């Protein structure tokens, strides 16, 4: 279960460090088509998880850095995400402020996996919350009983 509590805000030095991790992650972006490298760093209770944008010739299949980092956190067992920092390389001269914000798909992922996280837009260290980006987020009702994973044993 992902925590929905609001952890204490990060200190400026913590934000700066998380942004430096996000910028390092951006170096590994696969931005063959846009040439716009984005990195994300997720800070959880257990550690820090990185992601970068991964583009595809079929544009709709591209992944944003935020979702890659959130998937890394989840698959490594993270259950409480405190912050998500987003950094950019190759910023174009006509870069608009809204281009630095997570896209709609990422906002929905944040609503699902990191609803209490501090969202840090690294240029300027702008700090946002999900309620700033996606008020009244789409949510499904919690199942009444936990869904048990079906375990299949592989016999060798």
Site of interaction with Zn ion (CB under 5 A): 64, 103, 106
To Zn ion, the closest distance from the beta carbon of 66 in angstroms equals 5
Q: Coil, strand, or helix at residue 85?
A: strand
- Report residue 130: phi and psi, to 5°: -55, -40
Rg, the chain, Cα only: 16
Q: In this complex, which beta carbon is closest to Zn ion, that of residue 138 or of residue 155? A: 138
Q: Which residue is nearest to Zn ion (CB)?
A: 64
Q: In this complex, which beta carbon is closest to Zn ion, that of residue 45 or of residue 103? A: 103
Q: Which of 66, 142, 144, 148 is catalytic?
A: 66
Q: In this complex, which beta carbon is closest to Zn ion, that of residue 22 or of residue 106? A: 106
Report which secondary-structure segment, H or E, holds 81.
strand 81-88
To Zn ion, the closest distance from the beta carbon of 63 in angstroms equals 8
To Zn ion, the closest distance from the beta carbon of 67 in angstroms equals 6
Q: In this complex, which beta carbon is closest to Zn ion, that of residue 64 or of residue 70? A: 64
- Residue 66 designated active-site: yes
- Report residue 65: phi and psi, to 5°: -60, -40
To Zn ion, the closest distance from the beta carbon of 69 in angstroms equals 11
First to last CA, the chain: 33
Indicate the burial class of 138 (C-beta count within 10 angstroms; 0-12, 13-18, 19 or more): exposed
- Report residue 87: phi and psi, to 5°: -125, 160
Q: Coil, strand, or helix at residue 61?
A: helix
> Which residues carry out catalysis?
66
């Amino acid at each position: 279960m992902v925590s929905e509590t609001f952890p204490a805000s990060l200190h400026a030095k913590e934000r700066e460090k998380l942004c430096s991790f996000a910028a390092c992650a951006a170096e590994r972006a696969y931005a063959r088509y846009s040439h716009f490298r984005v990195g994300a760093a997720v800070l959880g209770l257990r550690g820090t998880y990185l992601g970068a944008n991964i583009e595809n010739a079929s544009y709709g299949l591209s992944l944003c850095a935020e979702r890659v980092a959130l998937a890394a956190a989840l698959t490594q067992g993270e259950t409480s995400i405190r912050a998500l920092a987003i950094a950019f390389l190759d910023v174009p001269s006509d870069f608009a402020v809204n281009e630095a914000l997570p896209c709609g798909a990422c906002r929905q992922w944040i609503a699902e996996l990191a609803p209490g996280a501090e969202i840090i837009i690294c240029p300027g260290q702008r700090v946002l919350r999900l309620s700033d980006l996606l008020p009244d987020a789409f949510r499904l009702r919690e199942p009444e009983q936990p869904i048990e994973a079906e375990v299949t044993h592989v016999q060798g």
